[in-house]
Amino acid sequence: MELIVRNNKGFSLIELMIALFILAFSLLGFLGAMINSIDSNLQNELRNTAIRLASQIAETLLAQDFDNLAANPDCSLTPYDSTNSCLVPDFTHYPNYSVTIRRFQQAYDVNWAITDLNLNLRQIEISINYTYRGQNFTHDTVIYKHRDS
């Protein structure tokens, strides 16, 4: 009796095609997840920049003299630019409202409103607006400035 031994150590073409199909399908799934992750990360970075900008504006306005922050038409909903009479005396020390994030310029619209609550207290509402992929986002902050005793 003769024993025939076959040596089948390789893959057939069908097995190779099925393996490539499964690998390609898996890679497409990972690619979609990676794109969503990158987009979420960028949205978080844009939001964090808006929060930092609001914090810098709040610190700037709180550093102003109480009487310079009068609730007048020049300071109510004043745009954050070089014509702002509320930010005296030197505008160049304040943050830039157009920020480079991942090699593109993101513009932020910064506004604030000052309200007299009483003789010794003013409320400052800061609003940071920006657009990402056609959708508008807003970050609002409210701070209070007390007259020094």
60-97 pLDDT tens trace: 888 877 877 764 444 444 445 545 555 544 443 445 57
Helix, strand, coil abundance in the chain, percent, nearest 5? 40, 30, 35
Q: What region, left, alpha or beta, does residue 83 occupy, with left being phi > 0 and alpha being psi -120 to 50 degrees? A: alpha
Lowest average pLDDT, out of 3-7, 50-54, 60-64, goes to 3-7
